[in-house]
Amino acid sequence: MKKIVFVGAGSVVFTQGLLADLVKFPELRGSHIALHDIDAERLQVAEAVARRITAGAVTVTAHLDRREALDGADFVINMIQVGGYDATVTDFEIPARYGLRQTIADTIGVGGVFRALRTFPVLDALAADIAAVCPDTLLLNYTNPMAMNVWYLSGKVRNVVGLCHSVYWTMRGLAELVSVPYEEISYVAAGVNHQAWVLRFERDGEDLYPRLDADDPELRRRVRVDMYRRLGYYPTETSEHSAEYVPWLMHHDAELDRLRIPVGEYLRVSEENLNEYKRTRDLVRHGGELDIAGTDEYAPQIIHSIVTGTPRVVYGNVVNDGLISNLPHGCVVEVPCAVDATGVRPTAVGALPPQLAALNRSYVSVNELTVRAALEGRPEHVRHALMIDPNTAASLPLEDIWRLADDLTRAHGDLLPEALRL
């Protein structure tokens, strides 16, 4: 019986989708699903949802104590959000006072940097618990900022892979756009999380990229289509995400209008997530029917492949050990990974086209400075990361960048690593 631990299981909607995916596999029935969260109410709701979805096909336990949940784990799925909704609001509202616009704020940028910094202390504790009770476990991380978190964890746990659904859903969308069934396409993507690139897009040897070149005025008003037409390769993340990773868009009113960029989008998403949690909680309490649907996430597929030996290719975020030759060694990149009974094996893709690597390097620089700030206890590197960040640097004068860093540091307070507090 395999033990699969959900850390941050109070993310009930996400937990629900992952569980629905897991119990689709007959070979995973009989597993032990251990749920952990620090919020007792959310954990209780997650447990009730899990029991409904799995219907006795697995053993479900719930734990407020993380180490107890982790003891003997074969797989750990991490999906925590440190600080929750209130911290997200802070990441938007304080920068907005300076005139800095953000859309999602969870990957790079001011929001991504501070989300990472308040997550790192919890990752330290998680890594220590894993070392103590399940050192050989495979840690599957969903928590953003993905690349920073995996980079930070890479020296602290033996086995970690970051998982994101952006490549998969991008390719589903592109297949639909060119009217080709997804099952008939083949593709290769690579880069960094939320800024990877579709390097190959084919069916039976036919390059499908030319089919994307129809002159559709509505498509031209999307950031990712605009980037594709200028850079030559389609990005694997939504327009809302992509807009804030570059220096050309967020501080121009005309560009916001031309490309229909939704400033503050993640605040609306977060509010809807809170409402969805409350709906789920109330349904559980009153015996209502849950809308149970699978999500085609990678974690259940990886677990199934390792347990059964079934070969698959998924996309993972892993340390760059020569996988992308023109991105820095040791950074975290997103590449195809082969999975079977031997584990997860990243695939080397060689060099990216130079314009793509150049854009990825600015992203990687923000990651490196943020990780170094925490590992080395150097608060000036937090400011350096924001100085290098494309959207922040293009939007604010230097003095405001430093004052903004101070304001956010005070606002997040004890959630940040002690050496980085004011």
Q: Backbone phi, then psi, for 11, in 5-degree steps? A: -75, 75
Mind spelling out the 3-state secondary structure of 280-335?
A: HHHHHHHCCCCCCCCCCCHHHHHHHHHHHCCCEEEEEEEECCCCECCCCCCCEEEE
- Tokens encoding 33: 């699903």
Side-chain-side CA neighbours of 134 within 13 Å: the count stands at 24
DSSP 351: P
Q: Which residues contact 173 (CB under 8 A, 6 or more apart)?
A: none
165 a catalytic residue: yes
Give the N- to C-terminal CA distance of the chain in Å, as an integer.
48
Q: Per the residue annotation, which of 32, 63, 165, 251 is the catalytic one? A: 165
Mind spelling out the 3-state secondary structure of 199-234?
A: EEEEECCEECHHHHHCCCCCHHHCHHHHHHHHHCCE
Helix (H, G, I), strand (E, B) or coil at 36: strand
Closest CA to 241 of 308, 174, 169, 302: 169
- Residue ranges of alpha helices (H) inside 71-136 are 84-97, 109-133
CA torsion sign for 227, 228, 229, 231 is positive
Q: Which residues contact 195 (CB under 8 A, 6 or more apart)?
A: 235, 236, 237, 242, 245, 359, 360, 363
Closest CA to 24 of 208, 241, 299: 299
Helix (H, G, I), strand (E, B) or coil at 75: strand
Q: Which residues are catalytic?
A: 165
